[in-house]
Amino acid sequence: MPASLVECIPNFSEARRPEVIAAIRRAIESVPGATILDLSSDLDHNRTVITFVGEPQAVEEAAYQAIAEASRLIDMEQHRGAHPRLGATDVVPFVPIREITMPECVQMARRLGQRVGESLGIPVYLYEEAATRPERKDLENIRRGQYEGLKAEIASNPARQPDYGPASLGSAGATVIGARQPLVAFNVYLTTSDVSIAQKIAKVLRHSSGGFHFIKAMGVLVNGRAQVSMNMTNFHQSALHHAVETIRREAQRYGTAIHHSELVGLIPQEALIDSAVWYLQLDAFHPSQILEGRMAQALPSGAGGLKEDFLDRLASGTPTPGGGSAAAHTGAAAAALVAMVSRLTLGKKKYAAVESRMLEILAQAEMLRQELSAAVEIDAQAFDALMAAYRLPKGTPEEQVLQDSALESATLHAAEVPLGVAQRCLQVMRLGLETAQTGNQNAASDSSSAVILAQAALTCAGFNVRTNLKGLAGERASQMLALMAETEQAAVTVAEALRRWQAG
Catalytic residues: 83, 379
The sign of the torsion formed by the CA atoms of 372, 374, 376, 378 equals negative
What does the alpha-carbon distance between residue 386 and residue 456 come to, in Å, rounded to a whole number?
Answer: 25
| DSSP letter (8 states) at residue 207 | G
Phi, psi of 456, rounded to the nearest 5 degrees: -65, -45
Decide: helix, strand or coil at residue 308.
Answer: coil
Q: What angle do CA 172, 178, 183 make, to 5 degrees?
A: 110
Contact 113, 64 (CB under 8 A): no
Decide: helix, strand or coil at residue 90.
Answer: strand
Phi, psi of 52, rounded to the nearest 5 degrees: -140, 160
Contact 415, 469 (CB under 8 A): yes
Contact 346, 359 (CB under 8 A): yes
Cis status of the peptide bond prior to 84, with omega within 30 of 0: no
Contact 146, 85 (CB under 8 A): yes
Q: Work out the angle between the directed axes of helices 323-345 and 444-469 (0-180°, nearest 10).
A: 160
What does the alpha-carbon distance between residue 346 and residue 360 come to, in Å, rounded to a whole number?
Answer: 11
Return the C-alpha torsion angle 185, 56, 173, 264, nearest 10.
-20
67 membership: H or E segment, kind and range = helix 56-73
39-67 residues labelled b (16+ CB within 10 A) or e (exposed): bbbbebbbbbbbbbbbbbebbbbbbbbbb
Contact 493, 426 (CB under 8 A): no
56 membership: H or E segment, kind and range = helix 56-73
SS3 track for 183-214? CEEEEEEECCCCHHHHHHHHHHHCHHHCCCCC
CA atoms within 13 A on the CB side of 117: 20
Contact 466, 495 (CB under 8 A): no
Phi, psi of 188, rounded to the nearest 5 degrees: -120, 125
What does the alpha-carbon distance between residue 103 and residue 109 come to, in Å, rounded to a whole number?
Answer: 10
What does the alpha-carbon distance between residue 493 and residue 430 come to, in Å, rounded to a whole number?
Answer: 10
Which amino acid makes up residue 303?
A: A
Contact 217, 188 (CB under 8 A): no
